């Protein structure tokens, strides 16, 4: 494995946690960042000496400033950044709240751009960064204007960072997953103004939601976090790949 000391944002759950676990199993060292410190500490306890927790709210400019430098300090070097932290809020045009718009732009676009900028000066020569975008960057839903705009902007920023890093062989790439079975996808999609249903109805709705989403993919199911993680770890260390976006979507984008 070429990349051994990596900052993983969103590292306490879902795709970020799966990336951290692939790196840790291969003997790498990982700095994990997200808001819920307890999730990060659980990983640190499971991998003593290999993982450190750097909890922070990445939507706060002051909290995220210098995060890569702190990761480098904690790990004794840094050759990778994986930005998996993200949020989605499905709202149709006419119902997009200012708060949801700002939150999605901040964590899905501004934070990765700022972290990527810092990575250019903190990562060692030959290091890699990988951003988790989405197929919704290419093919939006009626309810995903803010998320799709942010994730498409993330791809544009990634390509610019790839150019800026090339002289020091620092590579920047992205993955665009289809629907992956994580907490994000298990959150119930409610209609505007609809109150959350009771527990039993909630479970039924989420299960129906997962089946419907899985069936959208030509390969017939949702993705697994570890399937995306393997691709991320490949891109982190791929020496002649930069500015690229790898679609991992069970064939979702092939559909009409
Ligand atoms: N699941 C999918 O179908 C899918 C598809 C395409 C792309 N993606 C993208 O994949 C990435 C990972 O999502 P996931 O599916 O693994 O869902 P997830 O488990 O909900 O992961 C999202 C992570 O982002 C962190 N996060 C959110 N807001 C944050 C903030 N303000 N500061 C710091 N950390 C923050 C969360 O941790 P805290 O709450 O503890 O802060 C959480 O660990 C996201 O960027 C998502 O947009 C997911």
CA of 116 to the centre of ligand 1 (A): 17
59 is catalytic: no
Query: Which pLDDT value is given to residue 237?
Result: 96
Whether 105 and 165 map to the same domain: the answer is: yes
Whether 65 and 187 map to the same domain: the answer is: no
Whether 101 and 205 map to the same domain: the answer is: no
DSSP reduced 3-state for 182:
coil
Query: Which pLDDT value is given to residue 6?
Result: 98
Whether 110 and 54 map to the same domain: the answer is: yes
Query: Which pLDDT value is given to residue 191?
Result: 76
**Edge-to-edge strands, sheet with 5-9:** 51-53, 29-33, 5-9, 80-83, 128-132, 171-177, 245-248
Q: Is residue 254 part of a domain?
A: no
Whether 32 and 149 map to the same domain: the answer is: yes
Nearest ligand 1 atom, CA 36: 40
Q: Is residue 256 part of a domain?
A: no
Write down how long the chain is: 256
Give me the residue label for tokens 């819920």: 36
Whether 237 and 152 map to the same domain: the answer is: yes
CA of 12 to the centre of ligand 1 (A): 9
CA pair distance 243, 174, nearest whole angstrom? 8
Cα 175 to its chain centre, rounded Å, is 9
CA of 218 to the centre of ligand 1 (A): 24
Closest CA to 78 of 20, 125, 113: 125
Query: Which pLDDT value is given to residue 3?
Result: 62
Whether 14 and 83 map to the same domain: the answer is: yes
Query: Which pLDDT value is given to residue 190?
Result: 77
| 43, 75, 108, 147: the active-site residue | 147
Whether 188 and 136 map to the same domain: the answer is: no
Q: What share of the chain is helix, strand, coil (3-state, %, to 5)?
A: 50, 15, 40
Whether 72 and 159 map to the same domain: the answer is: yes
Q: Which of 19, 34, 100, 212, when mutated, tests ligand 1's pocket best, judged by the most ligand atoms within 8 Å of its CB?
A: 34
Q: Which residues line ligand 1 (CB under 6 A)?
A: 10, 12-16, 34-36, 39, 57-59, 84-88, 107, 132, 134, 177, 179-180, 182-185
Q: Is residue 167 part of a domain?
A: yes
Query: Which pLDDT value is given to residue 234?
Result: 98
Whether 66 and 165 map to the same domain: the answer is: yes
Domain that holds residue 29: 5-180+224-248
Query: Which pLDDT value is given to residue 232?
Result: 98
Residue nearest to atom 12 of ligand 1 (CA): 84
Residues 85-133 pLDDT 10s: 999 999 999 999 999 999 999 999 999 999 999 999 999 999 999 999 9
Whether 37 and 159 map to the same domain: the answer is: yes
Residue nearest to atom 24 of ligand 1 (CA): 85
Nearest ligand 1 atom, CA 39: 40
What stretches in the chain show pLDDT beneath 70? 1-3
Whether 196 and 87 map to the same domain: the answer is: no
């Amino acid at each position: 494995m070429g990349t051994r000391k990596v900052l993983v944002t969103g590292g306490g759950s879902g795709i970020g946690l799966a990336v951290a676990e692939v790196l840790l199993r291969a003997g790498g060292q990982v700095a994990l960042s997200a808001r819920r410190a307890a999730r990060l500490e659980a990983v640190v306890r499971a991998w003593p000496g290999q993982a450190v927790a750097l909890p922070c709210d990445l939507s706060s400019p002051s909290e995220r400033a210098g995060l890569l430098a702190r990761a480098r300090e904690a790990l004794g070097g840094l050759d990778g950044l994986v930005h998996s932290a993200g949020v989605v809020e499905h709202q149709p045009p006419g119902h997009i709240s200012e708060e949801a718009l700002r939150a999605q732009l901040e964590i899905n676009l501004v934070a990765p751009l700022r972290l990527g900028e810092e990575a250019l000066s903190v990562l060692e020569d030959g290091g890699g960064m990988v951003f988790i975008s989405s197929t919704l960057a290419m093919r939006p839903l009626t309810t995903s204007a803010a998320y799709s705009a942010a994730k498409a902007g993330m791809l544009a920023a990634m390509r610019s960072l790839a150019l800026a890093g090339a002289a020091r062989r620092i590579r920047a790439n992205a993955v665009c997953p289809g629907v992956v079975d994580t907490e994000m996808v298990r959150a119930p999609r409610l209609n505007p103004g609809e109150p959350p249903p009771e527990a039993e109805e909630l479970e039924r709705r989420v299960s129906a939601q997962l089946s419907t989403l899985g069936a959208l993919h030509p390969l017939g199911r949702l993705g697994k976090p570890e399937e995306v993680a393997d691709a991320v770890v490949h891109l982190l260390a791929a020496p002649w790949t930069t500015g690229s976006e790898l679609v991992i979507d069970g064939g979702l984008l092939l559909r009409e």
